[in-house]
């Protein structure tokens, strides 16, 4: 791996641009961990509502990290479908790369980043697939476009050409409109059961507040972490 050495003009202008970027050029809210509830879910709900109120774009998107059978990590962005007493829910094809990874290693980490308030939430724990009935309900609770996208299928497989996708996606749209109850066998709702949930509040002077909840003996332990 090359870390420095001959630098091209393109690389130099990339670095110039990179080094002018700022984080948290906004008034950040405070976070008093002493006022945090005993369990992480109500705090997640509260922070989510505050992210929406602060105008955070797409606060319901998150990074989902998984590992493959060899232990190599992978990550991608997904939509959050729910957060309840069971855990944090998302849905995808169990035949996708992440689906295969979860079948081999049923553990995941989620990351939410809400820069409007300098906040981050991390969730770690085991992942379980919901029942086929719950997965089907998830699929049909969403828009025609979402159903069409699920019907397109083959997620994470190598695509031969853009035309092939256009043909398949057009047919999937037709079918989604004509058959709103169409099933997609691979569509699966998953739940991440939280073993750990960390709330991070950024601070302009870098005295970030980190509060971690750890599930222990059916109760939650709360601890502060050095930033
Ligand atoms: C904002 C955003 C939201 C997404 N939401 C989902 C989702 O809810 N489910 C899904 O399967 N893919 C979603 N994707 C696509 C995934 O990031 C990813 O490309 C796809 O699931 C294939 O991942 P994999 O190859 O690791 O299995 C989303 C992408 C973006 C950028």
58: phi > 0 → left, psi -120 to 50 → alpha, else beta; which?
Answer: left
pLDDT at 104 over 70: yes
CB of 186 within 6 A of ligand 1: the answer is no
Mean pLDDT of the region 86-91: 98
| pTM of this structure | 0.94
Asked if the structure places residue 25 within a domain, the reply is no
List residues bridging with 212 in a β-sheet. Answer: 198, 223
Three-state SS for 89? strand
Mean pLDDT of the region 86-114: 97
CB of 12 within 6 A of ligand 1: the answer is no
Mean pLDDT of the region 55-83: 97
The Cα–Cα gap between 214 and 110 comes to: 15
Containing structural domain, residue 94: 31-225
Closest CA to 93 of 177, 185, 158: 185
Q: What is the mean pLDDT of the chain?
A: 95
Number of H helices, E strands in the chain: 6, 10
CB of 92 within 6 A of ligand 1: the answer is yes
Question: Model confidence at 34, in pLDDT bands (50, 70, 90)?
Answer: very high
Asked if the structure places residue 42 within a domain, the reply is yes
Asked if the structure places residue 148 within a domain, the reply is yes
Specify the CATH number for the domain of residue 177.
Answer: 2.30.110.10
Ligand 1 centroid to Cα of residue 69, in Å, is 20
User: What confidence score (pLDDT) does residue 3 get?
Assistant: 65
Asked if the structure places residue 157 within a domain, the reply is yes
CB of 155 within 6 A of ligand 1: the answer is yes
User: What confidence score (pLDDT) does residue 6 get?
Assistant: 82
Question: Model confidence at 150, in pLDDT bands (50, 70, 90)?
Answer: very high
CB of 128 within 6 A of ligand 1: the answer is no
Question: Look-up: residue for tokens 């094809």?
Answer: 93
Question: Model confidence at 24, in pLDDT bands (50, 70, 90)?
Answer: confident
Asked if the structure places residue 41 within a domain, the reply is yes
Asked if the structure places residue 55 within a domain, the reply is yes
CB of 79 within 6 A of ligand 1: the answer is yes
Question: Model confidence at 115, in pLDDT bands (50, 70, 90)?
Answer: very high
Host H or E run for residue 163: helix 162-178
Closest CA to 198 of 123, 97, 138, 129: 123
**Tens digit of each residue's pLDDT (9 = 90 or more) over 155-182:** 999 999 999 999 999 999 999 999 999 9
The Cα–Cα gap between 47 and 72 comes to: 31
Question: Model confidence at 122, in pLDDT bands (50, 70, 90)?
Answer: very high
Scored b (16 or more CB within 10 A) or e, 100-125 reads bbbeebebbbbbbbbbbbbbbbbbbb
Mutation pick for ligand 1 pocket among 92, 111, 154 (CB with most ligand atoms within 8 Å)? 92
Ligand 1 centroid to Cα of residue 203, in Å, is 31
Cβ(49)–Cβ(59) under 8 Å?
Answer: no
**Domain total in the chain:** 1
Instruction: Note the residue count of the chain.
Output: 227
CB of 189 within 6 A of ligand 1: the answer is no
């Amino acid at each position: 791996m090359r870390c420095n050495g001959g630098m091209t003009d393109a690389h130099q202008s990339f670095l110039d641009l990179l080094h002018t970027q700022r984080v948290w050029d906004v008034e950040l809210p405070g976070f008093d961990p002493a006022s945090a509830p005993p369990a992480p879910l109500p705090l997640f709900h509260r922070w989510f509502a505050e992210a929406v109120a602060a105008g955070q774009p797409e606060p319901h998107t998150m990074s989902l990290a998984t590992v493959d059978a060899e232990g190599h990590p992978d990550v991608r962005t997904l939509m959050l479908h729910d957060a309840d007493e069971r855990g944090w829910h998302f849905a995808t094809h169990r035949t996708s790369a992440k689906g295969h990874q979860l079948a081999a290693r049923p553990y995941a980490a989620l990351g939410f980043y809400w820069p409007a308030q300098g906040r981050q939430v991390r969730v770690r724990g085991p992942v379980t697939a919901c029942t086929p009935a719950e997965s089907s309900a998830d699929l049909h609770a969403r828009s025609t476009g979402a159903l069409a996208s699920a019907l397109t299928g083959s997620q994470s497989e190598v695509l031969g050409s853009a035309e092939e996708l256009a043909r398949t996606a057009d047919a999937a749209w037709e079918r989604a409109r004509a058959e709103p109850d169409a099933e997609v066998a691979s569509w699966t709702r998953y739940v991440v059961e939280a073993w750990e949930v960390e709330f991070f509040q950024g601070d302009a002077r870098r005295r970030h507040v980190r509060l971690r909840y750890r599930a222990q003996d059916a109760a939650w332990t709360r601890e502060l972490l050095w930033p």
